Amino acid sequence: MVETLPLPKAASSSRTTMAAPFTSDVFDEAAATASQNTATDDLLALPASHRTRRSDHGPGDDIVLPATHMREFLQNELLVPRLNEAAPWLWQCGRPMPPRPLHYQLLLRRAVAVTEDPDLHLVWSKGRIFVKPLPAWLLRRSVWEAHLGGGGGGDEQLGACARGFLFSYCALVAYRSDFRIATETGLLPEQLTWAAWKALSRQVLDGHSYAQVNPRYWYGELRLGRLNGIYRFRLGRLVRGYTAVDAPAVYTDLLQDNLGVLAALLVYVVVVLTAMQVGLAVDDLKANSAFRNASYYFTVISILLPLAGVLVIAVLFLPIFCTNWRATKRYEADRFRHIGVDGIRKQERGSSSSLQA
């Protein structure tokens, strides 16, 4: 089930406030004149396929046509349920201010990483910031009127997220240099011109109100590490956190990262033991009982420390492995049940039974 946050009272007091935030078509007028079929234009602006999410109806991951599952498609493209769940703590992840322009992100040495997940839009980690491209269908008034709360139709939550998403682009693409970066990285529709974007931004900003957007868009850039911390320690998702995009892809990388920390600690232990050995060769320190006792206890600790470190890594690693294994097996059973197949192992057992018979 998709989680949403209630809109502020100012946003839900009138249906007319949820109309499209622009009044004119931003694409080339010649192209619009060449095709008078609005429905066909909307279909061409949609992706080729769409992957469903897990819900009460199934485990998700079905590949379907967006036009035949339009509401679910728009929910997956616009709603931010994971960020809504972490909304009380978003102040720990970023400031309540619009995102900085794209050229400034490059100055901060953040590469633009394209994502189609709205929950990752404007989330950043070391060396990169995730940005969801602005889809062409979101710039069509017919889509707003039919699905995003404009003209008394659609869903106000979808409209609030769509408005916030569009507003974030007004902040990201402020200068012509930002527009060039956005077009080169595929963040903006190819047919969109700089003049049309300026006109669209003017209309969006003239009617912008924070009360009409999802609370996620009260904030701009959000730190991924802190989102993972919130999900692990505030919301109890200890293993998976907020997302695994920055996590090690394979278990060997996870072990290497943790063993690297242990190796650095052992280097320090070796340095201390060497210094103590030199100290015990000095008559003054050799006669010092406190130094001898410290050397004795530290030697014992240095013997036990590597074993304790390996044990701690194993204790941390095994729950992660077991949790992922159990989740994979559960998903496999749900998925095979959903698509109506028995699975390879059951088919092999059935084949062997028939051969024996």
Distance CA 164, CA 167 (A): 5
Distance CA 225, CA 98 (A): 20
Per DSSP, 233 falls in state: I
Distance CA 228, CA 230 (A): 5
CB atoms within 10 A of CB 216: 25
pLDDT of 30 = 42
Distance CA 244, CA 13 (A): 39
Q: Is residue 246 exposed (0-12), middle (13-18) or buried (19+ Cβ within 10 Å)?
A: middle
pLDDT of 346 = 63
Using 70 as the pLDDT threshold, list the residues of the chain that sit under it.
Answer: 1-18, 24-25, 27-44, 56, 150-154, 248-249, 251, 254, 343, 345-357
Q: Are 223 and 174 in contact (CB under 8 A)?
A: no
340: left (phi over 0), alpha (psi -120 to 50) or beta: left
236: left (phi over 0), alpha (psi -120 to 50) or beta: left
What are the structure tokens assigned to 253, written together?
A: 């990388």
The pair phi, psi for residue 190, each rounded to 5°, is -60, -35
Question: What string of DSSP letters covers 83-105?
Answer: HHHTGGGGGGTS-SSPPPPHHHH
pLDDT of 292 = 84
Which residue in 167, 186, 168, 178 sits closest to 107, CA to CA? 178
pLDDT of 258 = 72
156-172 vs 194-206: helix crossing angle, rounded to 10: 130
219-265 pLDDT, tens digit per residue, is 999 999 999 999 999 998 887 889 988 876 676 776 777 777 778 88
The residue ranges of every structural domain in the chain are 41-234, 246-347
154 Cβ partners below 8 Å, 6+ apart? 18, 144, 145, 146, 147, 148
pLDDT of 158 = 93
Q: Are 5 and 156 in contact (CB under 8 A)?
A: no
In order of 35, 134, 185, 199, the CA distances from 115 in angstroms are 30, 11, 11, 26
Q: Are 102 and 178 in contact (CB under 8 A)?
A: yes
pLDDT of 13 = 42
123-125 and 128-131 beta bridge pairing: antiparallel
pLDDT of 33 = 46
Which residue in 171, 161, 207 sits closest to 7, CA to CA? 161
Q: Say which residue the tokens 């404009």 belong to.
A: 150
